[in-house]
Structure 1
């Protein structure tokens, strides 16, 4: 076994690394830089440390169309938002010539920005690694991905090949940027559509309820989660949540159609099972609806009973006044359109004590990569019991906090909390 040397001088080790590295805090102030970084930028430690990066290296005022600074700033922001590394391919980023005020040197860089996470998961520092590509690119990108060289020194065949590779990388980067912008526009349209189709007010007269919808953190991750609450009579109301497989505009569109169909079915069907049977028939004629999960509950405040049916959805939870949490999992069937032919759905009834708390949610609240679904359910049940004495709005906020939803969730989350 190799014994770890606890006497390593990590400051000296960092400074000796041949790759140019700087370290920035979340305000993008340079807090450290190694010698390779100082050499490649032509700066001293005193000129760089404890100063904002974009103050040390401002944009070239003679090239107002240069986008290197904004692209680098955007990369840093993505690291801060996601807590994940971000790579930029070739960038032109001119830097001031040391000792010659107002003069800039044309430079090309390939940066990689990597987060250093704090114990709470936030980004504490950003390591900025830069590779200088100027020797290969020279002055400008040119005809068919090659170069127009204004230097008197001819390039070797290898240098020309590498320069063209960088030029192709630049083209790929710009294409990727356009794709990201298109996906961002689709994300916003889908999110707007999704929010427009979800209820904006509580239709439950004299009921205490709270709803939450949290879109996924990534720009490509808008999904098809929905919720609905309707009055059936003076002493009966219904609630449902659902989750369409897929992402983007298609999922949002399918979600809207299924939610509308189930909302209509809830008003006329004889119980949740019949409502889901009708929805299953409809889903078979709708592209993109396959394997959608949903659960519906009819709540009778006169008999103090819950009648429910689930199509492959995570079980709603009922927290009794004594803090015991009951999973409503006795009427769970396969997702919509999952069978070769439609069949009737199961239905179950459970009693509740006034003052109990009922929650319905989508799988984004409990599923975690590398963790069993049971662990997520247990964590949610424990949180519900602990906060069940609060009002529904506070319960909803605390459940999201306890499940880590305030730090950015990889999947959409819909949550309904009802005080019975």
Structure 2
């Protein structure tokens, strides 16, 4: 915040720290007196110059660190410290004699009204530890230790930058993978659907949870969700296989239980698929009937127009591949009224560490009652915000 009566330019000019004002294109807009004295060049000689041409040294690795730091500031819109830069400065009272000194660049963004980087303030801090230092062995060793530490720091920053770039590329691949495996739901002829998924925090933007919303050849709707054990790319790969298998099965078999039977047998041959949970429903809209079967998954919630919430929990069996011997899975039906809402979800929506799962289910029921008049998109958005943030979460909302 600006304070009336304070001349900020005069403060910039009088600062004992050597500072530049740089554009996002890395050209110099201004240099304060301390910076001019440091590099031995006037403001007129510096203005408009490319910032990497403004240093009195030839330390190419130092300049590479500086460029990486400036680009991180543009990307993150946060302050960043570059690796040390060497400056060999001529001693004022000894012409032709140069002293070896090291400086650490600190780069800070100046944001515009839209939160974008408008300018960068570049400041140099001396790090050699030689100010008023003697010439004894202890001082020399101290100086060498400092330079070694900063050299290691620079190496670590370079490694971190490479890791950051690799992670950015991996995240782009992950997002493309997730979008390919979890497309927008197919449009339904008579009802509206909305979906949301949210990976756990501190993971790539991928998860092992899935959803599937399909209109069957009969005209009924098949809606499913599932949850693979684990997070990240490995879980997402397993998720893609199981989602495709169940989506294909429900199109050709008679009912959700039979589809999950087939998926159970398939999962036993897929690495990482055991103990996956899933629930498959088929909505016969003409008869106002929902047929469902669950493989160890939290029960779907059916909210009536008056706000009453029922959990479809009458056809639950163990997760995929959990039973030693394969047995046919159970199946149940429920009826509904026009305007009811069916919600399928994964356990990240209702589970909290140290809390009984019944509390999470009651929280979901209360939320559905409170938002029963919301449209499906608004309801899906409100529900996904219930997730625990420590587990992947997928939500499907169908207005019946």
Same fold (TM over 0.5): yes
TM-aligned CA deviation for residue 92 of structure 1:
3.6
Deviation at 1:324, TM superposition (A): 1.2
Q: How does 1:13-412 map to 2 (within 5 A)?
A: 41=17, 60-62=51-53, 65-68=63-66, 71=69, 74=72, 91-92=83-84, 107-108=103-104, 134-135=127-128, 156-215=140-199, 218=202, 220-234=204-218, 236-368=220-352, 372-400=356-384, 402-403=385-386, 409=389, 411-412=391-392
1:297-339: CA deviation from partner (whole Å, max 9, x where unpaired):
1112243222222223232211012201112233333322234
1:331–1:348 Cα contact (<8 Å) kept:
yes
Distance change (3 Å), C-alpha of 1:322 and 1:356: same
What are the superposed Cα offsets for residues 144-180 of structure 1, whole Å, 9 maximum, x if unpaired? xxxxxxx999753354345323433432332233223
Distance of aligned partners of 1:238 and 1:66 in 2 relative to their CA distance in 1, 3 Å threshold: same
2:397 aligned with 1:414, yes or no? no
Q: Distance in 2 between matches of 1:306 and 1:175?
A: 55
Q: CA deviation at 1:78?
A: 5.7
TM-superposed CA distance for 1:201, in Å, is: 4.5
1:190-240 deviations in Å (ceiling 9; x for gaps): 221221122334242222222233455646352122211222354522100
- The alpha-carbon distance between structure 1 residues 39 and 344, as it changes in their structure 2 partners (threshold 3 A), is farther
In the alignment, the residues of structure 2 paired with residue 137 and residue 289 of structure 1 have an alpha-carbon distance, to the nearest angstrom, of: 62
Matched residue, 2:96: none
State whether residues 102 and 128 of structure 2, in contact with CA within 8 Å, keep that contact through their aligned partners in structure 1.
Answer: no
Aligned residue in 1 for 2:25: none
TM-score (norm 2): 0.67
Q: Would you say how many aligned residue pairs link Structure 1 and Structure 2?
A: 332
Q: 1:220 to 1:137 in 2, by over 3 A?
A: farther
Q: Distance in 1 between matches of 2:161 and 2:143?
A: 27
Report which stretch shifted further, 165-174 or 290-299: 165-174
Q: Secondary structure at the match of 1:91?
A: coil
- Pair 60,78 (structure 1): closer, same or farther in 2 beyond 3 Å: closer
Separation in structure 2 between the aligned mates of residue 59 and residue 338 of structure 1, nearest angstrom: 64
Which structure: larger Rg?
2
Scaled by the length of structure 1, what TM-score is found?
Answer: 0.64
Distance 2:350 2:70 in 1: 35
Over 6 Å off, 4+ runs: 54-59, 130-133, 151-154
- Computed over aligned residues only, the root mean square deviation of the Cα atoms, in angstroms, reads 4.4
CA distance in 1, matches of 2:205, 2:77: 18
Which consecutive residues of structure 2, in runs of 5 or more, have no partner in the other structure?
Answer: 3-13, 22-27, 32-48, 55-59, 90-100, 108-122
Cα distance per residue 1:125-159 (max 9 Å; x no partner):
xxxxx997822699xxxxxxxxxxxx999753354
Q: Which runs of 5+ in 1 are unaligned?
A: 1-23, 26-37, 48-53, 81-85, 98-104, 112-129, 139-150
